[in-house]
Structure 1
Amino acid sequence: FAVDFNLADYDYLPVSSEIKELFEYIKRYTPKTIEIEHKLQPFIPDFIPAVGDIDAFLKVPRPDGKPDNLGLLVLDEPSTKQSDPTVLSLWLTENSKQHNITQQIKVKSLENAEKNPKAIDSWIESISELHRCKPPATVHYTRPMPDIETLMQEWLPEFEELLGKVGLPTAEMNCDLAEYVDMICAILDIPVYKSRIQPLHVLFSLYSEFKNSQVRSSRQRLLEHTL
Structure 2
Amino acid sequence: KELFQYITRYTPQTVDLEHSLKPFIPDFIPAVGDIDAFLKVPRPDGKPDELGLMVLDEPSVKQSNPQVLSLWLSEESKQHQVTQHMKTVTSVARPQLHPRAVDSWVDSIGALHRSKPPASVQYSRPVPDIDSLMQEWPAELEELLGRLQLPSARLACSLSQYVDIVCCLLDIPIYSSRIQSLHLLLSLYLEFRDSQHFTRRA
Alignment TM-score, normalising by the size of structure 2? 0.73
> Which residues in structure 2 correspond to 1:145-156 (within 5 Å)?
145-156=127-138
Distance 2:69 2:163 in 1: 42
Unpaired segments of 5 or more residues in structure 2? 1-29
Percent of residue pairs identical: 63
Change in 2 beyond 3 A, CA 1:188/1:103:
same
Q: Which residue of 1 aligns with 2:12?
A: none
Q: Which residue of 1 aligns with 2:59?
A: 78
Unpaired segments of 5 or more residues in structure 1? 1-48, 222-227
1:191 to 158, 173, 176: 173
The structure whose Rg is larger is 1
Is 1:127 aligned with 2:109?
Answer: yes
State the 1:112 CA deviation: 1.7
Q: Which residue of 2 aligns with 1:36?
A: none
Q: Tell whether the 8 Å contact from 1:55 to 1:71 is kept in structure 2 after alignment.
A: no
1:141 to 119, 123, 126: 123
| Count of residues paired in the alignment | 169
Secondary structure of the residue aligned to 1:150 is helix
State the 1:57 CA deviation: 7.4
Q: Which residue of 2 aligns with 1:213?
A: 195
Distance 1:205 1:215 in 2: 17
Distance 1:157 1:142 in 2: 33
Q: Tell whether the 8 Å contact from 1:145 to 1:190 is kept in structure 2 after alignment.
A: yes
Q: Per chain length, whose mean CA-contact separation is higher, i.e. which structure has more relative contact order (CA < 8 Å, sep 6+)?
A: 1
State the 1:197 CA deviation: 1.6
Q: Which residue of 1 aligns with 2:70?
A: 89
Letter in 2 for 1:130: L
State the 1:162 CA deviation: 1.5
Distance 2:183 2:35 in 1: 43
Q: Tell whether the 8 Å contact from 2:32 to 2:59 is kept in structure 1 after alignment.
A: no
Is 1:102 aligned with 2:85?
Answer: no
> Which residues in structure 2 correspond to 1:164-183 (within 5 Å)?
164-183=146-165
Alignment TM-score, normalising by the size of structure 1? 0.66
Q: Tell whether the 8 Å contact from 2:95 to 2:102 is kept in structure 1 after alignment.
A: yes
Q: Tell whether the 8 Å contact from 2:33 to 2:59 is kept in structure 1 after alignment.
A: no
Letter in 2 for 1:76: D
Distance 1:96 1:50 in 2: 21
Q: Deviations over 1:61-120 (max 9, x none)?
A: 322111223222222211111211111122222222223x23231301111211111111
Letter in 1 for 2:158: D
> Which residues in structure 2 correspond to 1:53-64 (within 5 Å)?
59-64=40-45
Distance 1:161 1:203 in 2: 23
State the 1:53 CA deviation: 7.0
Letter in 2 for 1:82: Q
Distance 1:185 1:193 in 2: 11
Change in 2 beyond 3 A, CA 1:141/1:53:
farther
Distance 1:166 1:95 in 2: 52
- Runs (4+) of structure 1 exceeding 3 A deviation are 49-60
